[in-house]
Amino acid sequence: MAKPTGARCNLSCAYCFFLKKDRLYPGDSFRMSDDLMEQYIRQTIEAHSTPEVVIAWQGGEPTLMGLDFFRRSVETEKKYIKPGMAILNTLQTNGTLLDDEWCEFLHENHFLVGLSLDGPREMHDTYRKDRAGRPTFDRVMGAVRLLQKHKVDYNILCTVNAANEDKPLEVYRFFRDEVGAEYIQFIPVVERVSERGFQEGSDVTERSVDPGQFGRFLIEIFDEWVRHDVGRMFVQQFDAVLMSWVRGYSSLCIFRPTCGEGVVLEHNGDVYSCDHFVEPDFLLGNIINKPLIELVGSDAQRLFGQGKRALLTRQCRECLVLFACYGDCPKHRFTSTSDGEPGLSYLCPGLKMFFEHVNRPMQIMAALLRQGKLAEGVMPLLAQEERQSHRREKPGRNDPCPCGSGVKYKRCHGR
């Protein structure tokens, strides 16, 4: 993914890890030149022999580049696209600069837009403020309506943080029933206290999600989803985790044995190992001096990706849900196991709880998919199971009535 404005953004969200990154480039204008944009697109297309190529724009806030930059990027893609190849453009945005003209362009060029929204007004506005400290909820909701009006494909990116972690159903139902969204991603805020904004230290800010609460957050939403919404609401974590049950590995890097395929390109051509590791130690090189494909295939990047498996703690290696979790993202591995081994994910307690909780429905959905059926078949099956277990729990006719009357059930509430 590419960051055409580097870390620059028109908002100042309290938990944003990007904003401190501009210290890596003091005095820089933080604008990708057209020459570099062309290099990025050409090199990305040339490096692919797959039928689809993703050109991903991320920030900071990429819309600060202005619409014409993206018009030129689409023209550049047409110049280099190979026969039979399709290009999917994605744009991650806070939405506040979108208008009708933007949305017409996004629709015409089939962009997939990721929009940041942290739930209902009060929760969203806790941390997502502009540079003047003003709330942004109304502006983001305005963007949602514009995207919907122009039929732009979008998904919601919702961070899970101290302000919304204990209201999972409120958040989920807001997206489903009020926003009308169908695609949602939940991203845990795990923000380490570091002046430099690097992945260092083991203290987290008070805005960070509590590990156990993150598990409960996902579980409550999962229980609602798996009973009512499979096949009509798409929660990235649930789909990605289902793949672990279906084929043995997830579609999300954080839950895969190794990673390292998602490098990030800065506005000046510098390439880093991952969006979460834009730090000098993880700088692979610059695409002006070395082709992108060589940087992605470099030994340094291979070591980075394989480190995810190589550095698993013993607790993870012996964990029953390792196949689904794989120790989580290395950026979260700054706590210790019960016997003191460092390198355990901060989110481990919540992730373990979640993976254990979803095991049975995941097994059912995986079996359905293997039989060529739809995963939504899980909903009537679970409803039937619950009816049967409810019947089993019903007291016998001669048992004492559970209402506490001391009378036999058949003569009391069982009548």
Contact set with ligand SF4 (CB under 6 A): 253-254, 259, 262, 274, 276, 308, 315-316, 319, 321-322, 325, 327-331, 345, 348, 351-352
Give me 156's structure tokens: 């919601």
Number of Cβ within a 10 Å radius of residue 222: 21
Active site residue 275: yes
Report the nearest approach of ligand SF4 to the CB of residue 85 (Å): 25
CB-wise, 41 or 325, nearer to ligand SF4? 325
Distance of alpha carbon 41 from alpha carbon 397, whole angstroms? 73
Say which of 28, 153, 223, 275 is annotated catalytic: 275
Q: Where are the extended beta strands (E) located within 64-136? A: 86-93, 112-116
260: alpha, beta or left, given left = phi > 0 and alpha = psi -120 to 50? left
Query: β-pairing, 153-160 with 86-93?
Result: unpaired
CB-wise, 229 or 328, nearer to ligand SF4? 328
Report the nearest approach of ligand SF4 to the CB of residue 362 (Å): 15
Report the nearest approach of ligand SF4 to the CB of residue 277 (Å): 6
Nearest CA to 156 out of 123, 118, 120 is that of: 118
Give me 110's structure tokens: 């089939």
Distance of alpha carbon 288 from alpha carbon 281, whole angstroms? 19
CB-wise, 140 or 344, nearer to ligand SF4? 344
CB-wise, 95 or 327, nearer to ligand SF4? 327
Report the nearest approach of ligand SF4 to the CB of residue 402 (Å): 37
Q: Residue 359 burial by CB count (10 A; 0-12/13-18/19+): exposed, middle or buried?
A: middle
Report the nearest approach of ligand SF4 to the CB of residue 258 (Å): 8
| Amino acid, single-letter form, for residue 408 | K
Cα radius of gyration (the chain)? 24
CB-wise, 97 or 322, nearer to ligand SF4? 322
Positions annotated as catalytic residues are 275
